[in-house]
Amino acid sequence: MISNPASQPSETNRFERTKIKEAVIEIVSDSGEGAQKCGQSLGAISAKMGNGVWTVEIIPAEIQPPARSKAGASGIRVRMGSNKITNMGDHADLVVALNEQVLYGRIDQNAYKPGTYLLIENKWATHTEETAIAYKESIEHFKELGYYIFEIPMEKECLKHVSDAKKGKNMWVLGLLCNLYDRDLEIAANQVKYIFRKKDEKIIQSNLDLLFAGYEYANENFPMHFTIPSKLSEEDYVVMNGNEAISLGVMAAGIEVCSMYPITPATSATHAMAETIESAGGIIHQAEDEIAAIGFAVGASYAGKTAVTITSGPGIALKTEFIGLAIMAEIPLVIIDVQRGGPSTGLPTKVEQGDLLAVLYGAPGDAPKVVLAPSTIEECFHFVILARKLAESFRTPVFVLTDANLATGVQPFPRPKIKAEWFPEPLDQSPWKEGVKVYDWDKNTGISKRPIPGQKGGMYTLTGLAHDEDSHVAYDPAINQRAVESRSRKLAALRETLKPPTIHGDEEGDLLLVGWGSTRGAIEEAAERAREKGAKVSSIHLRFLSPMEPGLKNIFDKFKKVMTVEINYSDTVGNPLITAENRRYSQLAWYLRAQTLTDIDCLSNVYGQPMSPIQILQRLEKELNLTLID
Amino acid sequence: MISNPASQPSETNRFERTKIKEAVIEIVSDSGEGAQKCGQSLGAISAKMGNGVWTVEIIPAEIQPPARSKAGASGIRVRMGSNKITNMGDHADLVVALNEQVLYGRIDQNAYKPGTYLLIENKWATHTEETAIAYKESIEHFKELGYYIFEIPMEKECLKHVSDAKKGKNMWVLGLLCNLYDRDLEIAANQVKYIFRKKDEKIIQSNLDLLFAGYEYANENFPMHFTIPSKLSEEDYVVMNGNEAISLGVMAAGIEVCSMYPITPATSATHAMAETIESAGGIIHQAEDEIAAIGFAVGASYAGKTAVTITSGPGIALKTEFIGLAIMAEIPLVIIDVQRGGPSTGLPTKVEQGDLLAVLYGAPGDAPKVVLAPSTIEECFHFVILARKLAESFRTPVFVLTDANLATGVQPFPRPKIKAEWFPEPLDQSPWKEGVKVYDWDKNTGISKRPIPGQKGGMYTLTGLAHDEDSHVAYDPAINQRAVESRSRKLAALRETLKPPTIHGDEEGDLLLVGWGSTRGAIEEAAERAREKGAKVSSIHLRFLSPMEPGLKNIFDKFKKVMTVEINYSDTVGNPLITAENRRYSQLAWYLRAQTLTDIDCLSNVYGQPMSPIQILQRLEKELNLTLID
Amino acid sequence: MISFQPDFCEIALPEEGHYSIEDYGSSKARWCSGCGAHTILHSVQKLCEDEQLPPEKTVFVSGIGCSSRFPHYMKTYGFHGLHGRALPVASGVKFRRPDLNVFVITGDGDCCSIGAGHWVHGIRYNMKMVVLLFDNSIYGLTKKQTSPTSPLGTHSNTHPRGSVIPPINPIQSTLGFANVSFVAQTIDWKPAHLNATLKKAFDHPGLAFVRIVQRCPIWMRDTYEPTVKDPNALTLLDHEDGIVLDEKAKSTFRHIEQHDPSDLLKAREMAELVKETTPIGLFYQNKNAIRYDEYGAHNLGISVEERIGAINTLMDRYAI
Amino acid sequence: MISFQPDFCEIALPEEGHYSIEDYGSSKARWCSGCGAHTILHSVQKLCEDEQLPPEKTVFVSGIGCSSRFPHYMKTYGFHGLHGRALPVASGVKFRRPDLNVFVITGDGDCCSIGAGHWVHGIRYNMKMVVLLFDNSIYGLTKKQTSPTSPLGTHSNTHPRGSVIPPINPIQSTLGFANVSFVAQTIDWKPAHLNATLKKAFDHPGLAFVRIVQRCPIWMRDTYEPTVKDPNALTLLDHEDGIVLDEKAKSTFRHIEQHDPSDLLKAREMAELVKETTPIGLFYQNKNAIRYDEYGAHNLGISVEERIGAINTLMDRYAI
Ligand SMILES: Cc1ncc(C[n+]2csc(CCOP(=O)(O)OP(=O)(O)O)c2C)c(N)n1
Ligand SMILES: Cc1ncc(C[n+]2csc(CCOP(=O)(O)OP(=O)(O)O)c2C)c(N)n1
Ligand code: SF4
Ligand code: SF4
Ligand SMILES: [Mg+2]
Ligand SMILES: [Mg+2]
């Protein structure tokens, strides 16, 4: 067994700790240096202590970008606090950098502010001459930018315990951070043991050594030590990212066929389930392309097996034709779109909410479908289950729109108790009721029940041609009108079951923020912070995009101004040639304008970054003419 | 040489003719009986006489539908008048039917009204017993429906002149119609000679015989004879359908590569040019699928060769990903979508304007593009030329949206004089100007000029990834924002050059009809007829859908109500569950609501039929509470 | 019938008596008169009868084209989907439904042009199904455009001066695809051979790819007529492991070549014959090729409890 | 260089002196260190230098993947397009631009999975271009998913228990496609063979398809290392009409087989070798296959007057 080593820190609390409500910490490095593992562990430890946590990965565009380069910034941001944390926050409070160059990548992205602590590996100061010069210049530059710099001999310290510092530096940093932020060392040690559970004992031991050494180092060498009060919940919690939540959701929904073609940032959802799904009664089919992936899912669903296809923007584009068929022939299907920056190949690893209109309108002809957008990691899990149910009940494709921010953001949430009732009914192979039509569209709801191969007497030929209730090719023009109407009616029927969205804040005021998807945490936090400063700002967050949640017009009417907050493109009035008349709006804004005829403004950008509360607050300051940011 | 035969009718005007302003005539039959040729000839003869003409084909869904069946109705409608004719009109005035069963197909489509003359081949009355019974029942039924019936021994009459009546009956009918409507027999004879110019003299002769015989028969056997005054124009005219106009437009635009995959109703545009395009300096590439078709066109365009791809709805769906790339990388390209009934395979031979939103929003991410919609056959020709110019000037894909109604509708228009300036500049192979960026986005217009392979010093790598001015992959988030902005700005820049649409009718009033595409003739005619009855109705017709023509809001504000007229789907308020709040609107209506925040209603359906003036008038009656239909 | 997954294979015999050929016919087929598709339809219905396939356990999946209308004329389950996409759909149907008899109907444009990528991979998946390529060497439904199997120089509406690229030999191509397990060729106008081929294909434990040379009298009379009329135009591939005809049927062939269908290299040589004659028969069969549908079915029937257990085990990893 | 269309072929020699290999290099290649793509890049740049290709007359077209980043590292024209779609784009580039040297860079996923349909048809079009398949038997860029050429049982992120479908043999498949005219295989770690293969491919008057076995040390070290390390793992296909190596280079091979690249049937037999060894060399070449790019260029250079004349003649048909 592994015992805590001799070097275990002796006095852990010999100084006064500053009590803080939350902290935003980053670890950045070249890729392959384990920064992400370090941050994930910090997040997990904090979550186990009962803190609110949100972590988000910092991913370079290449697999092996050049070392020590701006483009190479790889790492993680961890935001943790006493309360629930729902987004990545604004600027980092403290950053650990394994080299100084990668910091430029983050500075470009406006991740830091004057006063941010930068803890930088100092071995570069004595590296090659070229490197040393670059290092020193950067340190000067950072100081000018107002950051507080700690140059730290990380490698040197690690080499006291291991022969190859590259492998263990991340655990040393973890120890250091655990001390600075008062993390429970036992929980931390257990976390390290868990990470290396498949390795041999020597490796576990040396990583524990490093953890403790880092912890000890922080004891000795830092002027500032914090604590973030936490309260352990009674409930069981799990902590994972949105793609992992989707992956568990797929299995918990009882989906049998997950048909996909790899594409960033969607694929990791498949990776997360790949080991388990076969024991959970399903199989992943990696198809030859996205068209085949959805075609295969459609075939499986036609044959009565519940199916999902998971993709991102370019994949959605390719699936467009099959989406039209699924709608036309009323095939239940869950389609998950983990949105990334567009158009085209765009920004494959970055976030955008740019597919809303494409999903709503992409297929030629009238193609009504259900569109859901989870707004938290937890919802990523539950919405897949919901989507499967809706798909089968309404005999239609259901979209689940997430994005790269949800995909990689990590957050604890109450552990779901998997229920048998989330699974679909067993394959119905009873004889088809005589006389019932294949599309026996209910006059009021448009809903009908489908025969499944194997059901005696249910034989029919599904077709993408316009068809009548018997699925026979329609020659009479009136039939097409009736069929299209019936498919559209299903949306109205589903809408009947929805409640108006909850208003966060007062029911009336100066400004209503409207969001969807991953921006929820940032919007609600910004609005709350603004309200604390006296702003009359409320927010709503839409989770059904099609059909729309009811009552929007009524809600909008009680605010002087309505504005969506979205991570996608809109023209900015005032830019050359752009006027209120010709402005191209953000996607939800556009949609809500048509729907409610309200003059809805939008705050949006395509920086490929998650929306931060401060970006929203900056805009609120302008809109409301108030000072909202300290 | 062929001389007019002995049987030439002696007295052609021995009776008083009723002067009429216009007539709607149909010839319907099983397919393969030459009804279309007959109607096309009647249209051409009338156009040559200086009458306004619109013809539209009646096409069954199968290549060889069962004979004498409702589903088999194949034929043509010809509307001709003293003035310009812009649409297929309301109900037919006179119908020639080669069998009585096919009439049911048309009756289902509401093509006739009480009082319509039906001229029916009577050979079926003495055919097999079964047929004879069906025939008689139908005749009785038609009488009940209020049609005037003429049972005509067409076959018998033809057999007086030829041994196989099947081949020539259509020319006999043509002769008959020429007499009934006072068509110039010399022009008619020349038309017959033209049709059979590649056949031997005997065949030409026997068809002329039939023409004259039919003419003579009408002299003797009909109580009603009409004349439609006409005025021969000085200008040269051509008469063709929309796909033929597109085909000529492609060549006149100097497009070198027409890359396509067959799909109804778009393919016939390619057929029309297939013989000629190689002499006109271009080539048709029939690709392995729609994706390859656009990819090939994109490649050709990248290499500096102007390219077009022609398709219909399902093809647009498949091209979605490449459309995104073309927008992202700013590749000039003309994309022609001959819309058909959707969604999915839908109604392949029928008309719908169902692709507008898919074309506008189909590609994930922000994908601004230019969208044009010709509204007449003539515009089908000219808009391709315009589209090519816009594509090159604005370095962007340009869509041309037509539909099955324009594709098959035939109308005369002034013969375009092909101009060298319609052709693109010769391939620029001069050295690229040093220092000019590959995407040197103009601050005000977003426009930049592209290097073309072969240009020294212009070497760059085009990419669908987010990129900067050098076409280098963008790592800095601000670059993406600037790039997306620049692409969007191009639309604003183009919009600056556009004029507000012309208002047909008064500039203010009770109701403004807004249309786009093929419905123009029907809308303007309906509005005019309504105005004649005192209704305060005006209309505008949009030909630029993206960017939108300016000034719409101002125009809308002067009318009590604004309503689009479109051939696509909208929910009907009052149907189960459908309310003003949840209603799904027609596509242009939806778009204009978002753009102008005007409460725009819509008149629409998905019967797969061209919009007729009377359908619009019926709705106007309701909206305005007036009697507008006699 | 092959019972390849004893636990889940429920290809059952009719419970209530015998199915007659009429039991498989739906509405009147709306192909042109003289179209080769009619005879194939009849032959397929006969196969269904001979094998007594329960209509409710039988699925015909097609793409788009004249040929792809086929499922509408069968009184079984059918899926008339998208142009070129029959194979992915059929694979999805079969993946978790080993009890269903799956047939794919596709055209030369559908399979070899827009569907070519799925063709490569469908063959590779080698799921138990019969794939019938109705090859009329033309785009029928869309009215005579060049297809990838149109002979060089074919005059079509897209190539009025004659097509310019050599045609695909679907047999040769398929024989080059990974994991290919059954490739045969037949013609629509020799029912004995057609029937025997369908039977052999149906019995194959894997994906049986059958190219049927199909007459399209509307657009391609000139192309197929010489083959139909000239008794020298066909070569019968004969072997005891191949398509076995009775002596009478065999006697109608002037050219007969012995060909062992287990020899893949030889099969590829035979496929080149096409340049002079139309070889019909079984080119290749391998009953032991890996089947992806067996993998697809391997974990059917896990209990709800086990499934929940597995999910919870994974969930544990995320527990804090 | 082959001047196949004397009127329009302007593959010109550099006007201003000699291009050096640096003239073809753009920004530093961002592949992982040890990635086989680096050596291929170098070899291609060497080819450009040897052939003195004017950079402005040279276009590299790729799809998406690690390999498809290639054009960014060349200082020529480049088109880094969509996943799987390099071939249609390249065909469009070449169709009316016989003066351009066109290269296609594609990956095993790009070419054989999502691009498989275009692969079938790109080969068939047989336009003069060099197609380099960087086959690392894995999805590199998206981080280790099974590719269609992954050996059976490959452990990947989508198949953690090992892949279940036999891989595609790209050589064999290509040899079965219609109108195939040049198929070769090489490896990234024997520069002499790689260089000679590229040269042979470049000289081919048609589409030269070259599969390059490419090392991906990040995800596939275990797969390629045996081939790299075991001197028995390669078989050199040798022939005077094939890839000709000097004696020194040849002496590094333990297994050498004579193979006449004009023999298509034999080439298919050789392609089966892959099961035991990696055969490298020229499998097949036919210099006389029909070229669609020649058709594409046949009516270049018609005068504006002639073009207008043709349009007017057609317009006359519609005149009234
Ligand atoms: C995506 C798409 N592209 C094109 C079409 C139009 N289309 C329908 S059938 C067909 C080709 C038919 O040829 P083939 O597959 O050989 O079948 P056949 O009609 O000859 O039996 C085409 C191009 C379509 N329906 N969908
Ligand atoms: C339409 C589409 N689907 C999926 C992807 C994601 N994707 C990028 S590269 C790639 C596969 C890469 O594998 P391969 O072609 O073998 O190239 P390699 O990276 O191994 O060189 C995939 C699936 C994409 N960019 N576009
Ligand atoms: S067009 Fe040809 S293939 Fe199609 S139904 Fe008619 S004969 Fe058969
Ligand atoms: S992941 Fe593999 S293929 Fe991609 S760059 Fe790295 S080593 Fe090369
Ligand atoms: Mg065909
Ligand atoms: Mg690869």
Q: CA D210 to CA D180: how far, in whole Å?
A: 12
* CA-nearest residue, atom 7 of ligand 2: A263
* Mutation for testing the B interface, residue in C83, C106, C156 having most B CBs under 10 Å: C83
Judge whether residue A154 has pLDDT over 80.
Answer: yes
How many residues does the structure list for chain A? Answer: 630
Q: Treating both helix axes as pointing N-terminal to C-terminal, what angle do C116-125 and D116-125 enclose, rounded to 10 degrees?
A: 120
**Sign of CA pseudo-dihedral A58, A63, A64, A66:** negative
Could you tell me the domains of chain B? 18-227 (3.40.920.10), 238-422 (3.40.50.970), 428-497 (no CATH), 509-624 (3.40.50.920)
Can you give the pTM of this predicted structure? 0.95
In tens, the pLDDT along B486-509 reads 999 999 999 999 999 999 999 999
pLDDT band at A198, cuts 50/70/90? Answer: confident
What totals of helices (H) and strands (E) does chain D contain, helices first? 11, 11
Question: Could you give the CA distance from residue D258 to residue D236 in angstroms, rounded to a whole number?
Answer: 8
Write down how long chain B is. 630
Burial of B387 (0-12, 13-18, 19+ CB in 10 A): buried
B599: nearest Cα among B553, B566, B568, B567: B553
Question: Which tens digit of pLDDT belongs to each residue from C203-246?
Answer: 999 999 999 999 999 999 998 999 999 989 999 999 999 999 99
Ranking B11-25, B139-153, B582-596, C290-304 by mean pLDDT, the lowest is B11-25
> Is it the case that residue C3 has pLDDT exceeding 80?
no
Are A509 and A560 in contact, with CB atoms under 8 Å apart?
yes
Question: Which ligand is in closest contact with the Cα of D115?
Answer: 2
Mean pLDDT of all residues in chain A?
A: 94
From CA B524, how far away is CA B531, in angstroms rounded? 10
Residues in chain C: 320
Q: Which ligand is nearest to the CA of C37?
A: 3
Q: How far apart are CA B570 and CA B559, in angstroms?
A: 22
D81: helix, strand or coil? coil
Task: Dump pLDDT digits (tens) for C248-258.
Answer: 999 999 999 99
Ligand 3 pocket test target in C66, C138, C149, C220 with most atoms within 8 Å of CB: C66
Chain D residues with CB-CB distance to B434 below 8 A? none
- d(CA D150, CA D148) in angstroms, rounded, equals 6
Distance from CA of A200 to the nearest CA of C (A): 20
User: Is residue A314 within 6 Å of ligand 2 at its C-beta?
Assistant: yes
Q: Does the distance separating the beta carbons of C178 and D166 come in below 8 Å?
A: yes
Supply the residue whose CA is at minimum distance from atom 23 of ligand 2.
A262
Q: Are residues A508 and A556 in contact, defined by beta-carbon separation less than 8 angstroms?
A: no
Instruction: Evaluate: CB of C24 within 6 angstroms of ligand 3.
Output: no
| Cα A316 to middle of ligand 3, angstroms | 35
Q: Do A292 and C320 touch (CB under 8 A)?
A: no
Whole-number pLDDT of residue D15: 53
- DSSP string covering B259-313: EE---TTTHHHHHHHHTTTTTTT-EEEE-SSHHHHHHHHHHHHHTT--EEEEE-H
Rounded to an integer, what distance in angstroms lies between the CA atom of residue A122 and that of residue A101? 12
**A6 CB within 8 Å of a chain C CB:** no
H/E segment holding residue D213: strand D207-213
Q: What is the mean pLDDT of chain D?
A: 93
**Chain B residue with minimal CA distance to C145?**
B262
For residue D192, how many other CB atoms are within 10 A of its CB? Answer: 16
Q: What is the mean pLDDT of residues D39-59?
A: 98
Pick C310's closest partner by Cβ from A279, A295, A300: A279
Closest ligand 1 atom to C82 CA: 26
Whole-angstrom distance, CA of residue D174 vs CA of residue C175: 11
Task: Please count the other Cβ atoms lying within 10 Å of the Cβ belonging to residue A621.
Answer: 16
Mean pLDDT (whole number) for B456-471: 97
Is the pLDDT confidence value at D8 over 50? no
Residue in A581, A582, A572 with CA at minimum distance from that of residue A619? A572
B486: tokens are 């620049």
pLDDT of C320: 81
Indicate the pLDDT class of residue B13, thresholds 50, 70 and 90.
low
Residue nearest to atom 1 of ligand 3 (CA): C140
Q: How confident is the model at residue C16 (pLDDT cuts 50, 70, 90)?
A: low
Q: Which ligand places an atom closest to the C-alpha of D141?
A: 2
* C236 C-alpha to ligand 5 centroid (Å): 24
| Ligand 1 centroid to residue C67 C-alpha, Å | 9
Query: With contacts defined as CB-CB under 8 Å, which chain B residues touch C150?
Result: none
- Rounded to an integer, the average pLDDT of B15-23 is 91
Using the 8-state DSSP alphabet, how is residue B347 labeled?
B
Residue closest to C237 by CA, chosen among C216, C263, C214: C263
- Tens digits of residue pLDDT in C40-66: 999 999 999 999 999 999 999 999 999
- With CA atoms as reference, report the closest residue to B527 among B516, B515, B518: B515
Q: Report the chain D residue with the minimal C-alpha distance to residue C295.
A: D164
- Reported as a single tens digit per residue, the pLDDT across A69-104 is 988 899 999 999 999 999 999 999 999 999 999 999
pLDDT of residue D3: 33
B593's CB contacts (< 8 A; 6+ apart) are A593, A594, A595, A597, B585, B599, B600
Task: Please enumerate in sequence order all residues whose Cβ is within 8 A of that of D49, keeping only pairs 6 or more positions apart, or say none.
Answer: D19, D20, D21, D23, D24
Contact check, Cβ <8 Å, A320/B362? yes
User: CA torsion sign, D249 to D253 to D256 to D262?
Assistant: negative
> Nearest 5°: phi and psi at A535?
-75, 145
For residue A69, the 8-state DSSP code is: -
Sign of CA dihedral A277, A282, A286, A289: negative
CB B1 near ligand 3, within 6 Å: no
Ligand 4 centroid–CA A47 distance in Å is 35
Chain D touching partners, 3 or more CB pairs below 8 A:
A, B, C
Structure confidence by residue, pLDDT tens digits, C81-113 = 999 999 999 999 999 999 999 999 999 999 999
Strands B559-566 and B509-516: parallel
Q: Does B288 touch chain C (CB under 8 A)?
A: yes
A298 lies within 8 A of chain C by CB: yes
Phi, psi of A205 (to 5 degrees): -60, -45
The per-residue pLDDT for range A503-515, each reduced to its tens digit, is: 999 999 999 999 9
Residues facing residue A347 across a β-bridge = A341
Give residue ranges with CB within 6 A of ligand 1.
B 261-263, 290, 314-315, 318, 345; C 64-67, 83, 107-110, 134, 136, 138-142, 147
Q: Which atom of ligand 2 is nearest to the CA of D107?
A: 15
| CB < 8 Å to D291, chain B | none
d(CA B44, CA B50): 10
Q: Which residues line ligand 4 (CB under 6 A)?
A: A 63-64; D 31-32, 35, 37, 66, 136, 140, 216-219
∠ Cα A183 A188 A190 (to 5°): 150
Is residue B562 within 8 Å of B598, Cβ to Cβ?
A: yes
State how far the Cα of D183 lies from the Cα of C184, in Å rounded to an integer: 27
* pLDDT at residue D13, as a whole number: 46
Among chain D residues, CA nearest to B463: D80
Give the range among A464-473, B165-174, C204-213, D142-151 with minimum mean pLDDT. Answer: B165-174
Taking each continuous run of H as one helix and of E as one strand, the counts in chain A are 19, 22
Q: What residue ranges define each of the domains in chain D, with the CATH number in brackets?
A: 2-290 (3.40.50.970)
Confidence tier at B3 by pLDDT (50, 70, 90): very low
Reading the block at residue B112, the tokens are: 């006739």
The DSSP line for D98-138 is TTSEEEEEEEHHHHHTTTHHHHHHHHHH--SEEEEEEE-SE
Cβ <8 Å between D113 and A289: yes
Q: SS3 string of A581-602? A: CCCCCCHHHHHHHHHHCCCEEE
Please name the residue whose Cα sits nearest to atom 8 of ligand 3: C35
Output phi, psi for C296, to 5 deg: -60, -30
Tokens representing D289? Answer: 């296959």
**Nearest-ligand number for the alpha carbon of C31:** 3
Under an 8 A CB cutoff, do D290 and C165 touch? yes
Task: Evaluate whether B308 touches B285 at the Cβ level (below 8 Å).
Answer: no
Q: Which residues contact A157 (CB under 8 A, 6 or more apart)?
A: A172, A213, A214, A217
What pLDDT digit, counting tens, does each position of D180-235 carry? 999 999 999 999 999 999 999 999 999 999 999 999 999 999 989 999 999 899 99
ipTM of this complex? 0.95
Q: Which of A300, A292, A250 is CA-nearest to residue A270? A: A250
Q: Do D116 and A288 touch (CB under 8 A)?
A: yes
Q: Measured from the CB, is residue D253 less than 6 Å from ligand 2?
A: no
The CA distance from A405 to the nearest CA of chain B, in Å, is 15
The full DSSP string for chain C is ---SSTTT---PPPSSSPPPGGGGB-SPP-SPTT-HHHHHHHHHHHHHHHHT--GGGEEEEE-SSSGGGGGGGBSSEEEE--TT-HHHHHHHHHHT-TTSEEEEEEEHHHHHTTTHHHHHHHHHH--SEEEEEEE-SEETTTTSEE-TTSPTT---SS-TT---SPPP-HHHHHHHSTT--EEEEEETT-HHHHHHHHHHHHHSSSEEEEEEE---TTT-HHHHHHHHH-TTSEEEEE-TTS----HHHHHT-SEEEE--TT-HHHHHHHHHGGGTSEEEEEEEE-TTS--HHHHHHTTTT--HHHHHHHHHHHHHHHB-
Atom in ligand 1 nearest the alpha carbon of residue C37: 21
Nearest residue of D to residue C272, measured between CA atoms: D265
Cα gap C210→C225, rounded to integer Å: 21
CA dist C280 and C25 (Å) reads: 28
- Contact residues, chain D, for B381 at CB < 8 Å: none
The residues whose Cβ lies within 5 A of ligand 6, an ion, are: D 107-108, 136, 140
Q: Which ligand is nearest to the CA of C145?
A: 1
Instruction: Check if B420 has its Cβ closer than 6 Å to any atom of ligand 3.
Output: no
Partner residue facing D142 (CB), from A264, A289, A344: A264
Residue D144 CA, ligand 4 centroid: distance in Å = 10
| Pairwise CB contact (< 8 Å): D269 & C265 | yes
* Structure-token pair, residue A534: 């006296």
Residue B99 pLDDT > 60, yes or no? Answer: yes
Q: What pLDDT sits at residue A235?
A: 87
* Bridge partners (DSSP) listed for residue D138: D146
Chain B residues within 8 A of A346 when measuring between CB atoms: 328, 365, 464-466
Distance from CA of B327 to the nearest CA of A (A): 8
For residue B543, which phi and psi values (nearest 5 degrees)? -115, -20
Q: Give the span between the Cα atoms of A65 and C74, in whole angstroms.
A: 58
